[in-house]
Structure 1
Amino acid sequence: MSNTLSRPTIRKGLLIAAAALAAVQIASFGYVSSASAAAKSIVITIDGNVQSGWTSAAINGTTYLPVKPFAAALGATLKWEQATKTTTLTQGARTVKFGINSKSAVINGKSVALTNAAALWKDGIVWVSARFIADSFGAQIALDGTTSTLAITPRLHPYVSDGKQGYVNVFGETVIAPKFEEANDFKEGLAIVKQGGKYGYIDIQGKFVIAAQFNEAYDFSDGVALVVNDGKSSYIDAKGKTVLTPEYDEAFDFSGGLALVRKGDLFGYIDHTGKEVIPVQFEDAFYFSNGLAGVQIDGKYGYIDKTGNVVIPATFQHVSDFSGGLGLVQAEGADGEGSFGFVNTKGEFVISATYGQGFSFSEGLAAVATDGVFSYVNGKGATVLSTKYEDVGDFHDGLASFEEGGKYGFINKKGEVVIKAIYDSVEAFDKGLARVITGTTANLIDIKGKVVAQAKPPEVAAPETPAAPAAPAATTPAPAK
C-alpha cells in the first residue's frame, strides 16, 4: 500500500474528457409496447467519454444500444452477413457472433445462452443488449440512476511478450499486438505508448491518434494532456494540437477545470486559458477533488475552494484528497504529528482523529490502524472488518492486499483470503486485473488469482514524472508497488 498520507502521484493525470454532456433520448422500437420501452433521457459514456448522437432503448428491463457505434467504441470490428442476418464482432483474439432474435450467441467458438438479451433489428440497425456485449468483451458496465448515466469501461491492460508491450483484456487475450517499446494504461479512451524513443497516444483499436513525438507525455485530464519536448511543457488537445504553453517552472494535470503550477518553491492554479486564477502562494498543493484542494500555509495544511478561498483552515499536519466525500487528515499532536481522522467538506470531523495510521476511502471503506493492526471502517466510522494484518491495501474490485510473513496476497470484504500471500509485492486491482511481482518476474492476475499475462517487469516504469513536493513521511515502511 502507498505510504500513509503520501502526496498524490503527479503523473499527469487521470484522463477526463471535456466533452459536454448531451442528453440522449431513449428510442422505443415501433413494435415495442409503451409498457416495455422506457421513455427518459440517458447519458452514455465509454471510458468516461460521452457518446453524443447515440440512441438507446430500454426493453423489458434491458438496455439496448446500436451495435455499430457500440462495437467501434469498444475497439471491436464488425462483420454483417446479410443472408443469415448474423453479426460477428472481433476484438483482437476474441470473437462474438449472434443472429437477430437468436436465443444464443457464440463466443470464441462456444455457444452461450441469451436470457432476454437477443439482438433485435429495426430500420436497418442491429440493436444489442449493452450488458451482454460489454460482458462478452470484459468491459465494466454500470447504470447510475441518480444521474441517468450508463457508464461502460473497456478493461485493457498493458502486457509484455518477447520484449515488446501490447494490451490484453481481462481474459488474458491479446487485443492490441505487442509492438511498442512501452505501453501505459488507457485513460478515457487513449493510452500513452512509446515508439522510436518518443511518446504518443493510441486509441482503443491500437491506432496512433497523436504521433509518437514527445520526450515526455502524460494522461489526458479535462480534455488536455501535458507533454514535454526539449524541456518545454505544453498542453495538447485530443487531436494533438497545442492549446496552452504556460510559463512556469513546472505544470501538472488539470482537475476540476484548474491545473496546479509551480514557480520557484510556491504553487498556484491556472485555468484552461492559462489565467492564474489562484495566485502562486502555497508551500505545497494538491489536485482538486470534491471541489476542494489541499494546500500548505505556514507549514500547516488545510483546503481551498476553486476561488482560492480557505474553506478549511490550515491546522493539520497533513491532508489528502477527498474520496467518498471525506478527506483524510492528520491532526497536530503533542510532539508535532498526531492521529488520523476524516473530515467532511465543511471541515467537520465525521470520524475522530484517533487512529495511528489511516488511508483514504475506496469502495466505501477506509483502512485504519490502532496499535499497528489494521481494520476497515465505513463512512460513519463504524468498524466493519477487523484484520490481524499490520500492512493492508485499499479495496479495488472488491479485493484488498495484505501482508503476512513478508509476502502479499488479497482478501475480500469479509476478510477471507481469496489469493494467498505468495508474492514479494503487489499492486491494487484495477479494471479486473492486478500486477504481482515475485523476484524479477511480474504477471497480471485476475480476481481469482489466475495468471492471465506477463506484466511489465518492476524496472519498467511509466514516463518519468517531474519532481513533486516532498510527500509526508510514512509512519511505517510500505512495500514497493
Structure 2
Amino acid sequence: MFVKNLAITIKILLLFVLITFSCTVKKTTLSSSNKIYHSFASDELVYSLFYDLPKDNVYSVGIINTSGKVITSPKFQCASDYFGRYANVIKDSIYGYIDLKGRTVFFPEYEEIYWPEEKYGFALKNGKMALVNRRGELLTPFVYNKISYFNEGFAQVKKEGKNNYINLNNRKLIFSDSLDFKLGPIYNSCAIFVKKKNGMEREYNEGVIRVDGKVIVKPIYDKIVYLMSDGNYLVRQDKKYGVLGKDGEVLVPLIYEELGPEITEGLLRSKLNNRWGYINAKGEIKVPHIYDYVNFFSEGLSGYKKNNRMGFIDEFNNIVVEPEFSFTKTFNNGLAVFKGDNNLFGFINRKGEVVIPPIYLKVFDFKDGYAKVQNENGKYGVLNSKGKLTIPMNYVSLIYSGQNMFRFKSLNGSK
C-alpha cells in the first residue's frame, strides 16, 4: 500500500502507526483494558495481541531470505520482524521466538509472550502482564495492565489506570505516581506527560520531563507532537505547530499549519499559507514555501509537487529531477518509486532515469538493497537494485523482517 509520507527512520515508526497483517490464533478475548500497545507496531504479531482473531487456521507463515532460500517452511500462525537475532512467532496458539538459524523456543506456560527488543519482553497471564528476559524468566510479578514502548533501557507500564516507566535494568519505576504519561517511548531520555485541563474531564495539556525528574516543558501545550532526533520538541497549540529547544525555549514559532514531524538532513518540511517548503532547526527558511507538497529529504534529495506533477530538488532548491511524474516517493539505496503513465510502478535513479520499468502493480521502498514488488496477478516477489528477481513472484504475501529475511504467508497450503 502506498502512503505519501515515507517512514524515514526507525524513530518515525515510534509515532504509533499501526500496520496490521492477518494472523490466525485461537486465543481468549481480552478486555479493552488489557489491549497491548507498543512501538513496534509494524508487526503482524502485534495484531494478534490487539484484536479478536478468526479461529480457523487459514494462513501459515514461513521465513525466506533475500536469496530465495526458505529458512523455515510455513508452519507459524504469526511471525514478527527480527529484533536483533530473534523474531517472535506463534505456533499452535503457543508463543515463542525463532533465531537466525531457524531454531525455535516456545513458552506454553504463558498466554502470550513477546520481545520487542533482543533482551527484554513481556508475558501475559490471567489478564496481567510481567516483564521477562529472553529465557522467559519473570523479572517482575504479573501486576501490570500493559507493558509497552521499549526504548533506551526503559519500558512504559500501566497499572491502575496510570502510565509510568520502568527501568529495565533494576525494574524500578522512575517517575512519581502523581504523574501520568502519554502513550509512547522514552526518547533522548525524555517522556511526554499529561495534565488535565482545568474543569475538563477528558482534555489534557502535555509537557516534557526528563528521566531524572526535571520538567523541561511545562504542560501548557495542546500536544507534544514528537520528540525529535535532534533533541528538540515538535509542539502544537491552537492548531499551529512550532519547535521547542532542548531546554524548552521556542526555536520555531508556532505559526505553521504542518511541520515535520522529523528533521532530516538538517531540514524540516513545513506548511505555511497552504504552501510547502523547508526550514532548519533555527526556524530559518531554507526552501521557500512555493510547493503544493514536499516529502522528506533522503539521500540529498526531496520529492516535491507543483501543478500536479512531481520531481526532486536539492537542499538549495535546485531542481535535480524535473516534475514529470504523477507520483514519486523518497530515495532509498539510490532509487525512488515512481508511477508511470500506464498507472504501474517502477524505480528511477537520482537523474530521473528509469532503472526498473513501471511494470508492477505495487512496489515498496528498497531496504538493505531489496524491494518487494507485486505483479498484476496479485503475487509478490523481491527485486535487487538491478531489477533482478531474487525471490520469484510466487507469494500471496511477503513482509521484510530485517536481517535480510522476509516472512511469507501460505494460504490453504499454497505459497
Instruction: From the superposition, tell whether residues 421 and 259 of structure 1 become closer, same or farther in structure 2 (CA, over 3 Å).
Output: farther
SS at match of 1:302: strand
Cα contact 2:4–2:329 (8 A) shared by 1: no
The answer to whether structure 1 residue 253 and structure 2 residue 185 are counterparts is yes
Cα distance per residue 1:212-261 (max 9 Å; x no partner)? 72588867532345578998867567789676688646321233222345
Q: Which amino acid aligns with 1:173?
A: K
The answer to whether structure 1 residue 431 and structure 2 residue 364 are counterparts is no
- Structure 1 residue 267: Cα displacement: 3.2
The answer to whether structure 1 residue 397 and structure 2 residue 333 are counterparts is yes
Map of 1:278 onto structure 2 = 217
Extract unaligned runs of 5+ from structure 1: 14-156, 463-481
Map of 2:123 onto structure 1 = 213
**Partner Cα distance (1:422, 1:238) in 2:** 48
- Structure 1 residue 199: Cα displacement: 7.1
One of 286, 299, 309 as aligned partner of 1:350: 286
Q: Which amino acid aligns with 1:434?
A: A
Cα contact 2:81–2:88 (8 A) shared by 1: no
The answer to whether structure 1 residue 380 and structure 2 residue 290 are counterparts is no
Cα contact 1:251–1:262 (8 A) shared by 2: no
Cα contact 1:399–1:411 (8 A) shared by 2: yes
Equivalences for 1:174-185 in 2 at 5 Å? Answer: 174=70, 180-185=76-81
The answer to whether structure 1 residue 422 and structure 2 residue 359 are counterparts is yes
Equivalences for 1:435-454 in 2 at 5 Å? Answer: 435-438=372-375, 440-449=378-387, 450-452=389-391
Map of 1:19 onto structure 2 = none
Q: TM-score, normalised by structure 1?
A: 0.53
- Structure 1 residue 283: Cα displacement: 2.4
Cα distance per residue 1:428-449 (max 9 Å; x no partner)? 1112222334465443332233
- Structure 1 residue 391: Cα displacement: 0.9
Q: Which amino acid aligns with 2:373?
A: V
Q: Which amino acid aligns with 2:381?
A: N
- Structure 1 residue 312: Cα displacement: 0.9
Extract unaligned runs of 5+ from structure 2: 18-42, 45-57, 106-118, 130-145, 196-202, 402-415
- The sequence identity of aligned pairs, in percent, is 25
The answer to whether structure 1 residue 193 and structure 2 residue 88 are counterparts is yes
SS at match of 2:186: strand
Equivalences for 1:218-229 in 2 at 5 Å? Answer: 220-226=150-156
The two structures, once aligned, show a CA RMSD in angstroms of 4.2
Larger Rg: 1
Instruction: From the superposition, tell whether residues 295 and 288 of structure 1 become closer, same or farther in structure 2 (CA, over 3 Å).
Output: same
- Structure 1 residue 345: Cα displacement: 1.3
Cα distance per residue 1:262-287 (max 9 Å; x no partner)? 56444333434576543333323113
Equivalences for 1:12-91 in 2 at 5 Å? Answer: none
Cα contact 2:157–2:163 (8 A) shared by 1: yes
Instruction: From the superposition, tell whether residues 297 and 174 of structure 1 become closer, same or farther in structure 2 (CA, over 3 Å).
Output: same
- Structure 1 residue 166: Cα displacement: 4.9
Q: Which amino acid aligns with 1:2?
A: V
- Structure 1 residue 330: Cα displacement: 0.5
Q: TM-score, normalised by structure 2?
A: 0.61
- Stretch deviating more after TM superposition (301-310 or 245-254): 245-254
Relative contact order, higher structure (CA 8 A, sep 6+) = 1
The answer to whether structure 1 residue 367 and structure 2 residue 300 are counterparts is no
**Partner Cα distance (2:95, 2:204) in 1:** 29
Map of 1:2 onto structure 2 = 3
Map of 1:314 onto structure 2 = 254
Cα contact 1:363–1:396 (8 A) shared by 2: yes
SS at match of 1:289: coil
Instruction: From the superposition, tell whether residues 210 and 444 of structure 1 become closer, same or farther in structure 2 (CA, over 3 Å).
Output: farther
**Partner Cα distance (2:184, 2:80) in 1:** 18
**Partner Cα distance (1:163, 1:174) in 2:** 17
Cα distance per residue 1:300-359 (max 9 Å; x no partner)? 11101222222111111100010001101011x2xxxx2111111111111111111101
Cα contact 1:183–1:191 (8 A) shared by 2: no
- Structure 1 residue 361: Cα displacement: 0.4
- Structure 1 residue 191: Cα displacement: 5.5
Instruction: From the superposition, tell whether residues 240 and 276 of structure 1 become closer, same or farther in structure 2 (CA, over 3 Å).
Output: same
Map of 1:410 onto structure 2 = 347
**Partner Cα distance (2:153, 2:257) in 1:** 34
Instruction: From the superposition, tell whether residues 384 and 307 of structure 1 become closer, same or farther in structure 2 (CA, over 3 Å).
Output: same
SS at match of 2:184: strand
- Structure 1 residue 379: Cα displacement: 1.6
**Partner Cα distance (1:346, 1:396) in 2:** 27
Map of 2:239 onto structure 1 = 299
- Structure 1 residue 10: Cα displacement: 4.0
**Partner Cα distance (2:356, 2:204) in 1:** 44
- Stretch deviating more after TM superposition (261-270 or 197-206): 197-206
Cα contact 1:12–1:219 (8 A) shared by 2: no
**Partner Cα distance (1:236, 1:2) in 2:** 34
Cα contact 1:201–1:211 (8 A) shared by 2: no
Instruction: From the superposition, tell whether residues 415 and 231 of structure 1 become closer, same or farther in structure 2 (CA, over 3 Å).
Output: farther
Instruction: From the superposition, tell whether residues 412 and 252 of structure 1 become closer, same or farther in structure 2 (CA, over 3 Å).
Output: same
**Partner Cα distance (1:455, 1:268) in 2:** 46
